Structure 1
Amino acid sequence: MRIVDVNEIYSPTGGGVRTYIDRKISVLASMGHELIVLAPGKEDRIEHRPGGGAIHYIKSRGMPFDSNYGLFWDPAPIHARLDELDPDVVENCSPWRSAWIVLNWQGRAIRSFFMHNDNLEAYAKRWFNRLASEERIERAFSWYDRYLQRFLREFDTVVTNGPALTRQLTARGVRVDTTVPLGIERTPFSPSLRDEQLRAALLAQCDLPPDAHLLLGVGRHHPEKRWPMVIDAVQRAGARVPVGLVILGQGMDTQTLERHIGSSPHIRLFHPVYDRARLAKIMASCDAYVHGCGTETFGLVPAEALACGAPLILPDSGDAAELANPLYTESFRERDAVSCADAILRMCARDPAIVRRAAAVASGTVRTDETHAAELIAHYEAVIAAKSGLSLPHAAHAARA
């Protein structure tokens, strides 16, 4: 099967979506399928991947306020590339112009809208939560749900990447055909990678001794990640116990976060770590992973941290909350720095050996991206079969031919 993903939110400097797509290309290739991504770029170029699959960058305009991403506008180069590639499935995840570009292409492939996020949760509710209740915000932005319904009815299937996102959308009457939760590449991640010398070195970077508590956060510097709330919580908890925070990431809010941290020596911003083995070692060496975003639709990074045996400090909403377990998690009210600080203090008060042992046991249960890919392919084969009127084995053969 050949899948082409017309994906405006893929960027070589992106976060969770880039991680998911890069690994998905490799996993599908190992299963005998091919994934090609059409992504906005500063120039036209093709980046082939070992084993199969590729990223086709198509010269496009940049996205305002975030230079990491671009926007598709002209349908002609997208349609020409789709004609050339002749896929079995075309995926799309942006609800704006690229969705209509995909729908207006005259090709044989089934169209799949793959939901990576919910803009109402990620943006409207974040922007206006201090001014109105969630119910009022949903009513005010009901036009967005009507807009989603308008174009989603034209897609052959609508897929979400986690149960929390499915619950949010279906509660508002938005079409969802199936949920295929994401997974992680578990191979690089292991509790055995814990390095006490690395832990002590990171605490020293935070001007703290080895007997202090080391928290880790990973993600781009963007308002939806709620790093200022996490920083406030760590500073509040730090008035009671010695605790340091290391945040790996970059983005549009880097200077804002630097100002928010101020003169505190116990919170450090470091560049993203793209080397998976190095990232896994850092995750395994922290005392807990703290996650601020309560609108995450899956939470790849918390899942990776758990696969390294890191205890978790999580908001009580979003799909990251699906990972929570009292044996190795402390939860807090989303967007609430005081509640987050209390969760940090509770984690610091627990026996570290016991809570890490519980997280290490749970590390082996983290869902894999191989499982995700296999379920997604099975779903696409069923949609192709239903649309073609063939039995499933015949449709699968036709899609691979």
Structure 2
Amino acid sequence: MKIVDVSEFYSPTGGGVRAYVEQKFKMAARLGHDLTVIAPGTENRHEPREGGRIVWLKTPQLPFDKNYRTFWGSRDVLDAIAAEKPDVLEGSSPYTGGYYAAKWRGDAVKMLFMHADPVAVYPQTLLAGKLKPETIDKLFGWYWSYLRRLNARYDGCVVAGTWLKRRFQQYGLKNIHTVPFGVERAVFRPRLRDESLRAELLAQCGLKPDAALVLNVGRFHPEKRVGMLIDAVTKAQETRPIGFYVVGDGFIRRTIAARAAKAAHIHLAGWLKDRETLARTIASADVVLHGSSAETYGFSVAEALCCGTPVVVPGTGGAADLAEPSCGETYRAGDANAAAKALVAILNRDRPTLSAAAEAIAAERIGDIESHFEKLFALYADAVAARRAEQMTGVVCCA
């Protein structure tokens, strides 16, 4: 099966999308598919990859984040699709990439993959505390209308979480398929906790081993609300010594660094690119504190549970779908005081009991990343087979 993915947010210096696409190439090769990723780049070139290739198209840089570029003009994208002759054409964003892919008039099965809820990620994050979420949804009715029109130009829409399917159905999107994400279960696994590493991480926060170690993992993006989490930890520090170890980076790093500099016992570690080190770090934390209420799935939360680490997350979004009361606490999204209260509550609970519950939830509900791609490619193969059967029926009827 020939799959072409118009991947607007793939970047060699990116985060989650880059990691996802790299796994996609590996699984395409393993399962015998041919994958082409069309991505915005600094020049026009083809890059061979195991399982396929990347077709880079020269595009302008996004003004607010030097790590990413965006498609500008449909002709190059449509020509690149035509050259590949796909069986399945995937639009991986609702922006220019997904819009241009929707314009393709070939006979490939077209799938829109919604990796996020754009209204939750941007307007609801930026206007949180000023307007109610339902009011914001109404104000952005024009955008929901655009999404419905875009969705109608595809044969199906793929999402990774049941909450996102319900939300999109609420606003009229059709033919939605849920293919849950997974994590690298061989890497993020139970019993990786390392007390010497924990002491080292707390020392980087300026604290001794008798303090609590709270961890956050993710991009420095307004959606992730890292600044709010710093405020929450600062509030919780009134009850006990707490170190906040933050793994990540992004285009608002200066803002986050300035916020952290005014707080106590905060360490900004940057990205931990070695996955084994990241897994040991997550397992050695006392709790993972998460800020985004717009997660499609919540990779860092899922990874924490697989490592047996309890979580504190907003009460809405993909992260909330994973955080059961037996292994986590939830709070009102965007509310630092509520987050602080939830953090104090979980630190007062028994860590071994929480850890056992997290492992049980992970074993029951969190699959491996390979199973995600097996299900995704199977969905695409079924759609291609159905399309070919329709075409054959049409030929027979006309014969």
Q: TM-score range by the shorter chain?
A: over 0.9
Superposition map of 1:96-115 within 5 A: 96-115=95-114
How far 1:104 moved relative to its partner?
A: 2.6
Distance 2:348 2:53 in 1: 48
How far 1:390 moved relative to its partner?
A: 5.4
Change (3 A) 1:309 1:88: same
Three-state SS of the structure 2 residue aligned to 1:70 is coil
Letter matched to residue 367 of structure 2: R
Three-state SS of the structure 2 residue aligned to 1:193 is coil
Q: Deviations over 1:99-147 (max 9, x none)?
A: 2321333433211100111111111222333333223222221111111
Superposition map of 1:238-387 within 5 A: 238-365=237-364, 366-387=366-387
Counterpart in the other structure of 2:186:
187
Superposition map of 1:1-400 within 5 A: 1-50=1-50, 52-365=51-364, 366-389=366-389
Percent identical residues = 41
Three-state SS of the structure 1 residue aligned to 2:384 is helix
How far 1:151 moved relative to its partner?
A: 2.1
Superposed CA RMSD: 1.9
How far 1:328 moved relative to its partner?
A: 1.2
Corresponding residue pairs, total: 392
Change (3 A) 1:112 1:268: same
Letter matched to residue 26 of structure 1: K
Q: Deviations over 1:72-105 (max 9, x none)?
A: 1133332232222222111112223222321333
Q: Is the 8 A contact 1:190 1:363 kept in 2?
A: no
Compute the TM-score of the two structures, normalised by the length of structure 1: 0.93
Change (3 A) 1:89 1:310: same
Question: Which shows bigger deviation, 171-180 or 58-67?
Answer: 171-180
* Unaligned stretches of 5+ residues in structure 2: 394-399
Letter matched to residue 175 of structure 1: K
Letter matched to residue 38 of structure 2: L
Counterpart in the other structure of 1:399:
none
Q: Deviations over 1:8-52 (max 9, x none)?
A: 1112222222222211221232122232211111123444334x2
Distance 2:2 2:318 in 1: 29
Compute the TM-score of the two structures, normalised by the length of structure 2: 0.93
Q: Deviations over 1:227-259 (max 9, x none)?
A: 111111101001111111111111111111111
How far 1:176 moved relative to its partner?
A: 4.2
Q: Is the 8 A contact 1:169 1:176 kept in 2?
A: no
Q: Is the 8 A contact 1:160 1:176 kept in 2?
A: no
Distance 2:197 2:285 in 1: 9
Q: Is the 8 A contact 1:166 1:176 kept in 2?
A: no
Letter matched to residue 20 of structure 2: Y
Distance 1:192 1:135 in 2: 42
* Unaligned stretches of 5+ residues in structure 1: 396-401
Q: Deviations over 1:160-191 (max 9, x none)?
A: 12111111111122224211111112111112
Letter matched to residue 85 of structure 2: D
Distance 1:28 1:186 in 2: 19
Three-state SS of the structure 1 residue aligned to 2:111 is strand
Letter matched to residue 343 of structure 1: A
Q: Is the 8 A contact 2:71 2:97 kept in 1?
A: yes
Letter matched to residue 327 of structure 1: S
Question: Which shows bigger deviation, 68-77 or 357-366?
Answer: 357-366
Distance 2:115 2:99 in 1: 17
